[in-house]
Amino acid sequence: MQTKRLVLVGFGNVGKALVRLLEQKRGLLNSEYGVDLIFTGIYTAHHGAAIHPEGLGALRAIEIADAGGNLNELSQYPAFFASGLDFIQACPGDVLFENSPVNHHTGQPALDHLQAALRKKMDAITANKGPVVHGYQLLSQLAKENKRHFFFESAVMDGAPIFSLFRSALPGIELRGFHGILNSCTNMLLTQMEKGDTFEQALDYGRKIGITETDPSADVDGWDAAIKVAAISTVLMGVPLLPDQVDRQGIRGLTPADLAEARAQGKRWKLVCSARRDGAGVVARVAPEMVSPDSPLYSINGTSSYAQFETDTLPGLGIVESNPGPETTAYGLFADFLNTLR
């Protein structure tokens, strides 16, 4: 039985859901992959950090974090780490799960975290879109040089298999373009506004159910959607793209009157993401659009998302993800882990 030492940077809802899923699947990993797990380190922004080379109790770490405690009590040698990078340098491990908050404009500090892990010959897995967009070529090259993996399935559409679909199931295909709904927060806000909420009321509802951040500008102003478009272009279309190169317009300007007008026409407003090849480049856009009932986007409600891909051999291939949560994002990370074992 091979033992894999797991290290977590970022321990919010997704990190906790990943721990629970890994514990749930421990029997499967033992029987089908010949792998056992130990968690050798967890680093958090608000609850300290713990390192234990022989394994720490990850489920106990969830209890401590949820109670507002400090993970330092689980550490074999209590120490203060000035940054996640210092923690990674000190922590023994075979796989890093990097789930720190996204930085749309630089990809940091996640980009440095993943570089450090790969240089330590750890597999690097992330749900963070920032380093995928701002460091894809660098991280891919580092993974190759160190004979390790850099995977990021959950960076776009949570656990839905987008990147692995093209990597594994669709060999030799050329992606010519795509369009869809990639930001679940704004889709939920528009759904609430269709019910009669004002923009601010919809935001309050989103905060209550945990979908909307305290500062929702990254979602509302289209930055989250733009970085997802950039990630798909960079990885699947082979054209590096940054979020500020995407023609971007958010939903902040839409009013209940706009939604009522669309409803009167039998249409709905959606924040539509799209990209298409244009010579050697890509033309990419994020903007509100009115869609008709004959569009597959029309029936994507709440926090659901959708992507339709146009390729050289398959004219239209769509993926729907219905009402994702931390568990679906955690599954994408888990699937990446299984793919490192294969």
- 296, 303 Cβ separation under 8 angstroms: no
Using 50, 70 and 90 to split pLDDT, how confident is the model at 211? confident
The model's pLDDT over 299-323, given as tens digits with 9 standing for 90+, comes to 999 899 999 999 999 988 999 999 8
The model's pLDDT over 63-99, given as tens digits with 9 standing for 90+, comes to 999 999 999 999 998 777 889 999 999 999 999 999 9
- The per-residue pLDDT for 228 is 97
- Residues 249-264, mean pLDDT to the nearest whole number: 90
Res. 251: pLDDT tops 80: yes
- The per-residue pLDDT for 222 is 95
CATH of domain 2-159+326-341: 3.40.50.720
The model's pLDDT over 10-30, given as tens digits with 9 standing for 90+, comes to 999 999 999 999 999 999 999
Main-chain phi, psi angles of 104, to 5 degrees: -65, -25
Tell me the pLDDT of the chain averaged across its residues: 94
- 286, 272 Cβ separation under 8 angstroms: yes
- The per-residue pLDDT for 283 is 97
Alpha helix stretches (DSSP H) within 26-109 = 26-33, 58-66, 84-90
- The per-residue pLDDT for 207 is 84
Cis peptide bond upstream of 109, omega within 30: yes
- The per-residue pLDDT for 19 is 98
State the sign of the Cα–Cα–Cα–Cα dihedral 235, 236, 238, 243. negative
Angle at alpha carbon of residue 272, lines to 285 and 238, rounded to 5°: 45
Res. 143: pLDDT tops 80: yes
Res. 239: pLDDT tops 90: yes
Res. 151: pLDDT tops 90: yes
- Residues 41-57, mean pLDDT to the nearest whole number: 94
The rounded percent of the chain whose pLDDT value lies above 70 is 100
Relative orientation angle of helices 129-145 and 110-119, to the nearest 10 degrees: 20
> CA-to-CA distance for 102 and 245, rounded, in angstroms?
18
pLDDT higher at 215 or 277: 277
**Which tokens is 162 given?**
């987008």
Alpha helix stretches (DSSP H) within the chain = 13-24, 26-33, 58-66, 84-90, 110-119, 129-145, 163-164, 184-194, 199-208, 217-220, 223-236, 256-264, 326-341
Tokens 């146009």 found at = 310
The rounded percent of the chain whose pLDDT value lies above 90 is 84
User: Residue ranges of the domains in the chain?
Assistant: 2-159+326-341, 169-321
Using 50, 70 and 90 to split pLDDT, how confident is the model at 212? confident
The model's pLDDT over 51-73, given as tens digits with 9 standing for 90+, comes to 999 999 999 999 999 999 999 99
Using 50, 70 and 90 to split pLDDT, how confident is the model at 247? very high
Strand order, beta sheet including 49-56: 49-56, 35-43, 2-9, 95-98, 123-126, 150-151
> CA-to-CA distance for 74 and 69, rounded, in angstroms?
11
Using 50, 70 and 90 to split pLDDT, how confident is the model at 267? very high
Res. 210: pLDDT tops 90: no
Contacts of 156 (CB under 8 A, 6+ apart): 129, 162, 163, 182, 228, 231, 232, 307
- The per-residue pLDDT for 198 is 87
The model's pLDDT over 120-137, given as tens digits with 9 standing for 90+, comes to 999 999 999 999 999 999
Fold agreement between 2-159+326-341 and 169-321: no
Class of CATH domain 169-321: alpha beta
